[in-house]
Amino acid sequence: MPVLEVVGLRKSYKDRLVVDGVGFAVREGETYGLLGPNGAGKTTTISMVVGVLARDAGEVRIAGRPHDTAGRATKSLIGYVPQELAVYPDLTARENLRFFAGLYGIRGSEARRRIGEVLEIVGLADRAGEAAGKYSGGMSRRLNIGIGLLNRPRLLVLDEPTAGVDPQSRTSILDSVRRLAGDGTAVLYTTHYMEEAQRLCDRVGIIDHGRMLAEGRPDELGAPDLEAAFLQLTGRELRD
């Protein structure tokens, strides 16, 4: 059974249909990339998947159970890292993690253990005592991912985790994703970077104008590489 199953997702803003019948599944240990140009509907899709945005139609199942915005049981299986950073600049990385662990109801020695694990995974263990406001953009992004990992999610959802970060943080983020997937976490992420998706993703879905145009392993999409597949499918380069 997939960790995530999405069927027939639909969303309109006023009269504009921005997500139009999107469906896909992500299995345990699988990294699934949702690819598409600006405005394709990626963020809207994953916002509905995690439940921060109400859907007009469609179904989301997590580990076989229906996921609705009030469903605590399925919510606790998801780690969500949005595009915008959500860390407190005056707190250290460790203090940020402690604060967010508290929100998840993780306290005391369990919180300490979990925070230690997370800092290790995102490669910030040796900088954990520094104020988050002093971090580079890439380090802040890694801290944000760490927050999404505190509850040991079975599904990790990342919105453009490597956009605009320095090469070192990018490598670190991709290593973290590989390691988490290796441990069985299902990873759903969006990216603009085709070459990155080609290397990292077990499967990708190409989305444009709110529709899923193609889906499969990067080498299955019938073009020399993802960049070419994208151009064939949409008639456009990825970044217009």
Ligand X SMILES: Nc1ncnc2c1ncn2[C@@H]1O[C@H](COP(=O)(O)OP(=O)(O)OP(=O)(O)O)[C@@H](O)[C@H]1O
Stretch that binds ligand X, among 39-47, 55-63, 111-119, 195-203 (CB under 6 A): 39-47
x-or-dash string of contact with ligand X, 43-82, rule CB under 6 A: xx--------------------------------------
Q: Does 154 bind ligand X (CB under 6 A)?
A: no
Q: Does 191 bind ligand X (CB under 6 A)?
A: no
Contacts of 171 (CB under 8 A, 6+ apart): none
β-bridge partners, 9: 22
- Closer to ligand X by Cβ: residue 112 or 192: 192
Q: Which of 8, 12, 38, 64 binds ligand X (CB under 6 A)?
A: 38
Q: Which segments within 14-62 are labelled E, that is strand?
A: 16-26, 31-35, 57-62
Per the listing, tokens 């203090």 go with 95
Per-state percent for the chain, helix, strand, coil, to nearest 5 = 40, 25, 35
Shortest distance (Å) from residue 52 CB to ligand X? 12
Q: Which segments within 27-159 are labelled E, that is strand?
A: 31-35, 57-62, 65-66, 78-81, 155-159
Shortest distance (Å) from residue 144 CB to ligand X? 16
Antiparallel, parallel or unpaired: β 203-208 and 31-35: parallel
Stretch that binds ligand X, among 35-43, 118-126, 136-144, 147-155 (CB under 6 A): 35-43
Tokens of residue 47, six digits: 């916002």
Could you tell me if 200 and 28 are in contact, meaning their C-beta atoms sit under 8 angstroms apart?
A: no
d(CA 199, CA 221): 14
Q: Does 41 bind ligand X (CB under 6 A)?
A: yes
Q: Which of 2, 33, 36, 51 binds ligand X (CB under 6 A)?
A: 36
Q: Does 234 bind ligand X (CB under 6 A)?
A: no
- Residues at the contact surface with ligand X, assessed by CB under 6 A: 13, 18, 36, 38-44
